[in-house]
Amino acid sequence: MSLPGRWVCTAALLTCAALVPASRGASATQAAPPAPVLPAIADDDVLAIQVRLDRAGFSPGEIDGRAGANTRKALSAFQRARELQPSGRTSDAATVAALRAEGEAVPIAPYVITDADLAGPFVPMIPGDLMEQATLPALAYTSVLEMLSERFHASPQLLQQLNPSATFATVGESLVVPNVTQPPGESSGSREITVIVSRDGSALGVRSPNDEVVFHAPVTTGSEVDPLPLGNWTVTTVSRDPPFHYNPDLFWDADPSHAKATIAPGPNNPVGVVWIDLSRKHYGLHGTPEPRLVGRTESHGCVRMTNWDALRVASMVAKGTPVRFVE
């Protein structure tokens, strides 16, 4: 999304204008672009596998059409849950058949851009410096493309590849998008499930009372300087669209000139769209403005996942839900 590298980076400052709405593109009197032809996608195509994993609750993270580490981990988790050999291979015929049998047959679907999509507000750019971020009234999306990419759990590059002629700025424009399910809304959650975060596996699993995996997602967990605090914790609160209370004293690599600051809510907020607070002080499970880096970079000890995966976990937990950090 917007921030290069780790979300706590102190990259060169970027000038950021006030929040502005996106261009409306074609006027209402112009003819709507023709509906796209949905391409045929084979069941063993990586894109189809990623979409079906996402729908089955075994998130590959950002859907990009590539068989990367997060997809292989999600496949292995799905295979173990379905009592298949955990090969992690997208060419595994038994796994492809099992995913196909999960239900939804079509991995991509049409979508038409609406007035609401273009209404914004949008931020022209997000500065890398946290003190600069604190001057913004909201950490909103930077474009319609970024917003739709997150809505459909996809990389912007994939949406552009699926829609090479799209402007992503025209009301009525027809697109082809991954056929994912949207994160559930707020719910009461449960204290009967258990959330397990694996440091070495860079993965989060939610297990039912009978120890079945009901959700899996890639995560980023700590670093050598700020390692994941192994142990047993519990959920204390769930905050949606949270502000980020920046305290440079808690970051070993903070700029010495920084002071405490509050960064406004939004999907490009350093903790994304949800914060799941834990009984371990200063630690939580949360979203991120950089979904492409989940599972690939380091954090300051907290558990970072894509915004859509964080929302799904938030809908499953409640105050008192056990959370285990393991090797």
DSSP letters, 122-151, are: B-S---SSHHHHTTSS----S-HHHHHHHH
Looking at the structure, do residues 92 and 213 belong to the same domain, yes or no? no
- Asked whether the beta carbons of 235 and 314 are under 8 A apart, the reply is no
Which H or E run contains 56? helix 46-56
Structural domain harbouring 293: 194-326
Structure-token pair, residue 244: 């980020």
Looking at the structure, do residues 283 and 217 belong to the same domain, yes or no? yes
Q: Please give the pLDDT value at position 29.
A: 46
For residue 25, the one-letter residue type is G
Q: Please give the pLDDT value at position 12.
A: 27
Residue 211, domain CATH: 2.40.440.10
In a domain, 217, yes or no: yes
Looking at the structure, do residues 45 and 169 belong to the same domain, yes or no? yes
In a domain, 66, yes or no: yes
In a domain, 269, yes or no: yes
Q: Please give the pLDDT value at position 39.
A: 79
User: Residue holding tokens 């999306």?
Assistant: 141
Structure-token pair, residue 90: 């997208």
Looking at the structure, do residues 255 and 200 belong to the same domain, yes or no? yes
Looking at the structure, do residues 81 and 112 belong to the same domain, yes or no? yes
Looking at the structure, do residues 201 and 321 belong to the same domain, yes or no? yes
Q: Please give the pLDDT value at position 33.
A: 61
In a domain, 297, yes or no: yes
Q: Please give the pLDDT value at position 31.
A: 58
Which H or E run contains 286? strand 284-286
Q: What is the pTM of this model?
A: 0.87
Number of domains in the chain: 2
Looking at the structure, do residues 235 and 320 belong to the same domain, yes or no? yes
Looking at the structure, do residues 173 and 249 belong to the same domain, yes or no? no
User: Residue holding tokens 């997150």?
Assistant: 150
In a domain, 29, yes or no: no
Cα dihedral 38, 43, 49, 55, rounded to 10, equals: 70
Looking at the structure, do residues 227 and 155 belong to the same domain, yes or no? no
In a domain, 7, yes or no: no
In this prediction, the residues of the chain whose per-residue pLDDT falls under 50 are 1-29
Q: Please give the pLDDT value at position 225.
A: 78
Q: Please give the pLDDT value at position 300.
A: 65
In a domain, 168, yes or no: yes
User: Closest Cα to residue 285, out of 217, 192, 210?
Assistant: 217
Q: Which of 149, 182, 215 represents a domain boundary (last residue)? A: 182
Q: Which of 152, 182, 212 represents a domain boundary (last residue)? A: 182
Q: Which of 182, 211, 234 represents a domain boundary (last residue)? A: 182
- Asked whether the beta carbons of 166 and 160 are under 8 A apart, the reply is yes
Looking at the structure, do residues 224 and 144 belong to the same domain, yes or no? no
Query: Residues with Cβ < 8 Å from 101, sequence gap 6 or more?
Result: none
Looking at the structure, do residues 118 and 240 belong to the same domain, yes or no? no
